């Protein structure tokens, strides 16, 4: 099937089946362009909890589609490529978290949304990169267990020195490998460009940023800035929206390694097939789902 024909079919099917297509900011351009909504993890969770659609086609990675299912249990949530996962989310499972809690009893657990439903179910509250500081600040306890991202945990800790944050040692394989020397080098060559970095990068990198934020916060920063040049310290998929919304501004990727292969697995044809055959449905055990929903809803109530 030709591209144009496939786009028409997706449009016909989404109308006929009352489906909505949600896509993360890291998806490939064709996928972002066909989506009803493109956003960061928080924005996507909110959309999933509010939509009237019967089917959600989730273009992102597994934990994101799973969160959509947890927040909309009566809807059919389809992940076009079932093995699109997040290696960081896989760095902790429920059993490891139970052990971590046993080692540090009576301390609330905050889990980054990049985690499985089972880990969310074992946690007190969830957070995303856009609201992590706010969520941890809202807790009465001065000690917090944070899973699975040590880099986001360290970033929160710098923002809230009054809190003792004990981090699980997980990390994003895409952001963690950026080196602080790369920031120095690009600062030297791109003098006046603003450097915008995701908090999943390591602390030596993050502390050299002009702005730190989630993917949508980085987009908002650029859209509201008078500056003309920006260095982008997050996954390269975000460049599509940045360039589309800011055709007269210039963007440079901080490091060539900023590619998440899992986010690149989904193509138009996968969306078309998932929608046509209603396949790759996300299913979560009801008990786990109810516990995990509590963590996600607590987060949504605060943000």
Interface positions, 137-166, toward ligand 13P (CB under 6 A): none
Interface positions, 122-151, toward ligand SF4 (CB under 6 A): none
- Residue 11 has φ and ψ, to the nearest 5°, of -65, -40
31 touches ligand SF4 by CB under 6 A = no
27 touches ligand 13P by CB under 6 A = no
Candidate ranges 94-102, 178-186, 258-266, 293-301; the one touching ligand SF4 (CB under 6 A): 258-266
Instruction: List the one residue from 21, 38, 135, 172 that touches ligand SF4 (CB under 6 A).
Output: 172
Instruction: List the one residue from 55, 107, 263, 284 that touches ligand SF4 (CB under 6 A).
Output: 263
Spatial distance between the Cα atoms of 251 and 88, rounded to a whole number of angstroms = 27
How many C-beta neighbours within 10 Å does residue 105 have?
6
Q: Which of ligand SF4, ligand 13P, none does 87 bind, CB closer than 5 to 8 A by kind?
A: ligand SF4
88 touches ligand SF4 by CB under 6 A = yes
Interface positions, 177-216, toward ligand 13P (CB under 6 A): 200, 214-215
Instruction: List the one residue from 260, 284, 288, 292 that touches ligand SF4 (CB under 6 A).
Output: 260
Residue 87 or residue 267: which is nearer to ligand SF4 going by CB? 87
Task: Return the closest-CA partner of residue 108 out of 127, 89, 95, 91.
Answer: 127
Pair 69, 158: CB distance under 8 Å: no
Tokens at 25, concatenated:
């900011």
Q: Which of ligand 13P, ligand SF4, none does 202 bind, CB closer than 5 to 8 A by kind?
A: none
72 touches ligand 13P by CB under 6 A = no
215 touches ligand SF4 by CB under 6 A = no
Instruction: List the one residue from 20, 167, 172, 296 that touches ligand 13P (CB under 6 A).
Output: 172
Shortest distance, position 249 Cβ to ligand 13P, whole Å: 20
Q: Which of ligand SF4, ligand 13P, none does 154 bind, CB closer than 5 to 8 A by kind?
A: none
**Residue given tokens 């956003």 in the structure block:** 39
Interface positions, 38-77, toward ligand SF4 (CB under 6 A): 61
25 touches ligand 13P by CB under 6 A = yes
Task: Return the closest-CA partner of residue 215 out of 129, 152, 134, 133.
Answer: 129
Q: Which of ligand SF4, ligand 13P, none does 173 bind, CB closer than 5 to 8 A by kind?
A: ligand SF4
Spatial distance between the Cα atoms of 98 and 104, rounded to a whole number of angstroms = 10
Residue 36 or residue 278: which is nearer to ligand 13P going by CB? 36
**Residues making contact with ligand 13P (CB under 6 A):** 25, 40-41, 114, 128-129, 172, 200, 214-215
Binding site for ligand SF4 (CB under 6 A): 61, 86-88, 114, 172-175, 200, 235, 260, 262-263
């Amino acid at each position: 099937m030709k591209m144009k024909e496939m786009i028409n079919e997706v449009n016909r099917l989404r109308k006929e089946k009352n489906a909505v297509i949600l896509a993360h900011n890291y998806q490939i351009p064709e996928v972002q362009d066909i989506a009803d909504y493109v956003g960061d993890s928080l924005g996507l969770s909110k959309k999933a909890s509010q939509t009237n659609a019967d089917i959600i086609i989730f273009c992102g990675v597994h934990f994101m589609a799973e969160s959509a299912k947890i927040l909309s249990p009566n809807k059919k949530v389809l992940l076009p490529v079932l093995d699109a996962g997040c290696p960081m989310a896989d760095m902790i499972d429920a059993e490891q978290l139970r052990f971590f809690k046993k080692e540090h009893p009576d301390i609330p657990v905050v889990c980054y949304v990049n985690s499985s439903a089972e880990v969310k179910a074992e946690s007190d509250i969830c957070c995303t990169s856009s609201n992590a500081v706010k969520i941890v600040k809202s807790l009465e306890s001065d000690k917090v267990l944070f899973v699975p991202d040590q880099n986001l945990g360290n970033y929160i800790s710098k923002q809230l020195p009054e809190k003792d944050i004990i981090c699980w040692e997980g990390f994003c394989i895409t952001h963690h490998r950026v080196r602080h020397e790369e920031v120095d080098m690009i600062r030297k060559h791109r003098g006046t460009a603003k450097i915008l970095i995701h908090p999943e990068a390591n602390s030596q990198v993050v502390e050299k940023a002009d702005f730190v934020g989630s993917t949508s916060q980085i987009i908002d920063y650029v859209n509201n800035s008078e500056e003309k040049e920006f260095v982008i310290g997050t996954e390269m998929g975000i460049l599509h929206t940045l360039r589309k919304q800011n055709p007269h501004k210039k963007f440079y990727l901080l490091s060539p390694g900023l590619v998440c292969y899992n986010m690149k697995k989904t193509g138009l044809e996968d969306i078309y097939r998932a929608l046509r055959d209603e396949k790759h449905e996300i299913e979560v055990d009801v008990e786990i789902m109810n516990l995990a929903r509590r963590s996600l809803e607590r987060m949504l109530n605060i943000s």
